[in-house]
């Protein structure tokens, strides 16, 4: 970052170099500020000493990323470097101005080194290949139209000491396309056996799709999101695991495993796991993004959470909570500021399994729907929560249920601690049980194979799930036919093979 707190130059010198310093500020704001930690150094760029680009860690070749990944090409970088080298030859430079120029030159040189490792001739693209592993040092922004492509099998580590976090800014993309045999894994840099929740930041994606807060800004200076393009694309997440994330920004304010902030329906999200996150597993802040084949395990707060007008779709979701610390399977809000804000949160979600943990003191409600949210929820299995399976809160949400804009149907609620339907507080006379039971929902044992096993869970439903006839999903190109209840087919356990249950 530009050090604007140092001793100022003289009035005359400040006037001569004012334009350069403004340029440097712009460069630092938009540059790829890569901190390379290497096993040696080279003398380059006019006598400045630059670190090597690759760190050898116990035989693993690790590239350290820090700052911004932009779409600036090599010719732009070379011209800026040449201009700065020329300016450094000016004997009239003050010590302060020289220090700032040298710092900017170092950053640009790092950027050019990284391009030689990770980019192609197509300047917006950055390619993370399986040749290396990668360390996120601090907040790493992909911005200004850059495209980050991540190959199958790549491992990315968030640095604990600097709260490593990956942020995809508006108008940029992440193309993380793994495979069942080679998923892309984003984890912390902790030693094996010492992993825990909250060791790095997680993944934040900012898009241009509508929210009911307009264009707004994410928590922790994670950037702007929202707009008027429902079909906006932020790229692909396929066969991706996010684990041990959720750093604390302030007391009781942690990052989610994945935050979809105003992300549009052009984004592909399927076969994704968030494991052992300190806050919510996955949260949508408005937007229209659709998610399919998604697993959240061991989230400390809610497994799935959305607010601010998310109107996307979902199918084949599973949440498994751990009783040491967890809140709700679903926490569904429209807006706490204005329950009637539009676009109203109104997701369409089919085939979900939500598993609480009755053996521990935590794990609250299966589905908490409130603050004016609507939506269609069908073919669910909700079991094992310590409070209730379905809780619909406040008058604005009850109005959505009474008008048919909020529907929970063709689902099974079984053995939730304080009842399958209801509320611990005053509910303005709304009867969750009557609402649920008139829509084909039942209180019966679905016969899940081994849902509470934390080391080798099996979410496959048994014969008991056939007590409820599944509702046919919409035929709109996103949803797949499903003749079963819950998030996992009796004949195809999609959670097997590429996911993890490791807890340390």
Report the chain (504 residues): mean pLDDT per 10 consecutive residues: 28 33 34 33 46 78 87 84 90 92 82 79 85 93 95 98 97 99 98 95 98 94 96 99 91 88 99 98 99 98 98 99 92 97 99 94 93 99 97 96 98 97 77 94 98 97 96 98 98 97 92
pLDDT value for 54 = 81
pLDDT at residue 55 in the model: 86
State the sign of the Cα–Cα–Cα–Cα dihedral 63, 67, 69, 75. Answer: negative
Answer yes or no: are the C-beta atoms of 265 and 230 closer than 8 Å.
yes
Pairing of strands 202-206, 248-250: unpaired
Convert 277-288 to b/e letters by CB count within 10 Å (16 or more is b). Answer: bbbbbbbbbbbb
* Dmax (CA) of the chain: 85
* pLDDT for residue 38: 34
Given the structure tokens 């990944």, which residue do they identify? 69
- pLDDT value at residue 121: 66
Q: Where are the beta strands (DSSP E) in 52-90?
A: 54-57, 60-69
Cα angle 228, 231, 232; round to 5: 75
**Residue 343, preceding bond cis, omega within 30 degrees?**
yes
- What are the respective helix, strand and coil percentages of the chain, to the nearest 5? 15, 30, 55
How far is Cα 187 from Cα 244, in angstroms, rounded to an integer? 6
pLDDT of residue 482: 98
Question: Phi, psi (5° rounding) for residue 60?
Answer: -95, 130
State the residue for tokens 């800004």: 217
Question: In the prediction, which pLDDT does 424 show?
Answer: 63
Which region holds residue 298: left if phi is over 0, alpha if psi is between -120 and 50, else beta?
left
Rounded distance, CA 312 to CA 162, Å? 34
b/e string for 5-21 if b means 16 or more Cβ within 10 A? eeeebeeeeeeebeebb
């Amino acid at each position: 970052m530009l050090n604007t707190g140092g001793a100022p130059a003289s009035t005359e010198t400040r006037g001569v170099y004012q334009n350069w310093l403004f340029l440097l500020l712009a460069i630092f704001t938009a540059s790829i500020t890569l901190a390379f930690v290497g096993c040696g150094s080279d003398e380059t760029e006019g006598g400045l000493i630059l670190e090597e680009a690759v760190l050898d860690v116990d035989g693993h070749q690790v590239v350290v990323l820090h700052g911004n990944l932009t779409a600036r090409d090599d010719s732009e970088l070379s011209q800026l470097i040449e201009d700065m080298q020329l300016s450094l030859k000016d004997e009239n430079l003050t010590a302060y101005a020289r220090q700032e120029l040298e710092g900017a030159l170092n950053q640009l040189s790092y950027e050019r080194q990284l391009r030689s490792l990770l980019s192609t001739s197509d300047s917006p693209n950055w390619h993370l290949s399986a040749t290396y592993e990668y360390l996120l040092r601090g907040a790493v922004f992909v911005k200004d139209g850059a495209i980050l492509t991540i190959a199958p099998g790549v491992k990315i580590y968030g640095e604990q000491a600097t709260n490593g976090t990956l942020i995809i800014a508006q108008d940029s993309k992440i193309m993380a396309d793994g495979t069942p045999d080679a998923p892309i894994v984003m984890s912390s840099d902790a030693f094996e056996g010492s992993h825990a929740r909250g060791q790095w930041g997680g993944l934040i994606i900012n898009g241009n799709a509508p929210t009911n807060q307009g264009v707004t800004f994410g928590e922790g200076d994670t950037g702007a999101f929202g707009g008027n393009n429902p079909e906006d694309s932020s790229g692909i997440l396929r066969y991706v695991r996010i684990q041990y994330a959720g750093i604390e920004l302030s007391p009781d304010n942690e990052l989610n495993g994945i935050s979809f902030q105003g992300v549009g329906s052009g984004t592909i999200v399927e076969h994704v796991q968030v494991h052992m996150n300190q806050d919510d597993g996955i949260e949508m802040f408005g937007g229209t993004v659709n998610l399919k084949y998604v697993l959240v395990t061991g989230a400390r707060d809610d497994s799935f959470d959305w607010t601010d007008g998310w109107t996307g779709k979902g199918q084949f979701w599973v949440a498994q909570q751990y009783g040491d610390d967890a809140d709700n399977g679903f926490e569904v809000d429209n807006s706490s500021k204005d329950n009637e804000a539009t676009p109203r949160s109104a997701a369409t979600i089919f085939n979900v399994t939500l598993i609480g943990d009755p053996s521990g003191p935590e794990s609250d409600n299966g589905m908490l729907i409130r603050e004016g949210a609507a939506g269609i929820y069908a073919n669910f299995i909700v079991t094992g929560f310590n409070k209730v399976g379905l809780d619909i809160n406040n008058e604005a949400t009850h109005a959505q249920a009474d008008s048919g804009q909020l529907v929970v149907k063709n689902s099974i609620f079984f053995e939730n601690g304080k009842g399958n339907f209801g509320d611990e507080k005053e509910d303005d006379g709304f009867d969750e049980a009557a609402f649920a039971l008139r829509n084909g929902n039942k209180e019966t044992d679905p016969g899940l194979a081994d849902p509470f096993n934390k080391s080798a869970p099996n979410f496959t439903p048994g014969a008991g799930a056939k007590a409820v006839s599944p509702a046919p999903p919409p035929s709109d190109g996103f949803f797949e036919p499903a003749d079963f209840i819950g998030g996992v087919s009796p004949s195809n356990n999609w959670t097997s093979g590429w996911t993890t249950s490791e807890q340390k």
